[in-house]
Amino acid sequence: MTDEPAIDPASMYEQMGGHAAFVRLVDVFYAGVAGDDVLRPMYPEEDLGPAKERLTGFLEQYWGGPTAYSRERGHPRLRMRHMPFHVDPEARDRWLLHMRAGVDALALPPLLEATLWDYLERAAHAMVNTFEPRGIGPQSGGRDDAAAAASLPLTIRRAPDAP
């Protein structure tokens, strides 16, 4: 017996096809990511399996399914979790390309497809954290803020009338 609340049969999660649909979406997405020279380096694990599980759990919870994601990982904090990575418009567009393939694989009714795609587009745009070329800005593998700040030359100048 689990503490998981019952899933509402009218939830978007159920209307989209439940667990099997979200697994399919994520499997197709990561099949594209696996061969993507911009996105693949953002995943430190050699095996994408753990990333698949995290994304599946997040999406299921967001759309009204099981709440295991928050129980296991806490609040999603998507911007914070993606900040260590160089997420520029190119990375966003590649993410959307692979996610589009996953959405198309579901063959959802038009209203469900549009609702899901609208969320995914907004989420992808919200994750962009730099407009700098690759090699500048947040990096794959991540650096904590203190290490990043310590690597920058800093000169503090006081205003002429400051004590």
The binding site for heme consists of 125
φ, ψ of residue 102 to 5 degrees: the values are -65, -45
Residue 80 token pair: 């914070």
CB of 42 within 8 A of CB of 140?
yes
Residue 22 token pair: 């979200």
- Binding residues are 125
Residue 4 token pair: 């998981």
Cα 19 from Cα 59, distance rounded (Å): 10
Beta strands in the chain (DSSP E): none
SS3 152: coil
Q: Fill in the amino acid letter for 27.
A: D
CB of 43 within 8 A of CB of 49?
no
Segment holding 110, helix H or strand E: helix 110-127
